Amino acid sequence: MEKQIQFLRQTSQKEINAASVLQEIESLRIKYLGRRGTINKLMEKLPALPREERIISGKEINELKKEIEKALASRGKEVIEKKHEKQQQETLDVTVPGIRPQIGHIHPVTQATTEILEAFTELGYEIIEGPDVENDHYNFEVLNIPKTHPARDLQDTFWLTNGLLPRTHTSAMQVRVMEQRKPPFKIAVPGWVYRQEREDATHASSFHQVEGFAVGEHISFAHLKGTLFTLLRKVLGDETKLKFRASYFPYVEPCAEVSATCPHCKGRGCDICKQSGWIEILGSGMIHPVVLKNAGIDPKKYSGFAFAFGSTRLAMLKYKINDIRLFTGGDLRFLEQF
């Protein structure tokens, strides 16, 4: 009997400790403590034992019974706690911060262009977009840039195999629009332009321009100046001064290259304007009579002015960006700042 009790003590402990679900614990309870369980079976054997042994064994069986009860209870508690722990891990924790979806936003060049176009709209300009792929006729020929003209060298062109070209400037839209309209009109053309450039911090092979032009009776250089002052002061600040320097583009006469006082140092000189106080902003002039004629407009009756600036360049100036390639590089660390 002594040995049986000893054996039962060991195996019951082992089995109870190995139980991992409540059902197993319940079956063990029935197995050991049930009416026909092991403990009762041992009890039933007691009366057959000699008195001395009966008393000792009886006591031991009772102790073992208590041990098994205790072990089952504590193992049961453990199993329940484990189950709760697992459930807690599985449940939805509403306090965990969500994963923020990445939301895009307006590209800095588009932001700057939108601001410029708003200024154009306030001046009564109509905004028109044109094709990115142009033909030789509108990009060069009608703008007084014949095939033999050295001005074509200024614009290293990506020629397509079908003879067309990604436009080298938004000026290509001038005659397209003039052909379709009767003066007076005021037009702004935003758009990307493409040139074979050796790319560096200030040169990109695609950049964004906005072309502006107006045609009507008695349009003079004074109107051009007034327009540029109004537009650029809106975009660069009220105190902006402009400097007009004689220049050359075959589709305007006279032609002026315009610089504005640096909006960061207000003309005093800083890193952005390379200490000069001035930033070269745009090309402009009075539309050449030949161009008006090419568009079917009588240059004796009508005159006009035209100008274009790089919106990419203006965005660089506005946001103090020192490398033009960042705009098209697709680096989110850069773009997310705007």
For ligand DAH, the binding residues (CB under 6 A) are 169, 171, 211, 249, 252, 283-285, 306-308
**Cα-based distances in Å from 129 to 44, 132, 173, 217:** 104, 9, 8, 25
Name which of 26 and 129 has its Cβ closer to ligand DAH. 129
Nearer to ligand DAH by C-beta: 57 or 139? Answer: 139
Closest CA to 62 of 24, 9, 25: 9
Listed residue (84, 87, 33) closest to 62, CA to CA: 33
278 versus 338: smaller Cβ distance to ligand DAH: 278
- Minimum distance of ligand DAH from residue 203's CB (angstroms): 13
Q: CB of residue 283 vs ligand DAH: minimum separation in angstroms?
A: 2
Nearer to ligand DAH, 65 or 167 (CB): 167
Output the smallest distance, CB 271 to ligand DAH, in A: 25
Q: Is 126 helix (H, G, I), strand (E, B) or coil?
A: strand
Q: Which residue is nearest to ligand DAH (CB)?
A: 283
> 3-class DSSP state for residue 28?
helix
Residue type, 330: G
Least distance from C-beta 239 to ligand DAH, angstroms? Answer: 25
Record the tokens describing residue 56, joined without a space. Answer: 């000792």
| Nearest distance, CB of residue 326 and ligand DAH, angstroms | 21
Tokens 């049930």 belong to which residue? 34
Please write down the long-range contacts of 292-295, taking CB distance under 8 Å and 24 or more positions apart: 292/178, 292/215, 294/142, 294/143, 294/144, 294/175, 295/142, 295/174, 295/175, 295/178, 295/179
Nearer to ligand DAH, 263 or 285 (CB): 285
Shortest Cβ 98–ligand DAH spacing (Å): 48
Return d(Cα 33, Cα 164) in angstroms, integer.
96
Considering the complex, state which of residue 78 and residue 253 has its C-beta at the smaller distance from ligand DAH: 253
C-beta of 120 vs 249, nearer to ligand DAH:
249
In whole angstroms, how large is the CA radius of gyration of the chain? 44
User: Shortest approach of ligand DAH to residue 298 CB, angstroms?
Assistant: 20
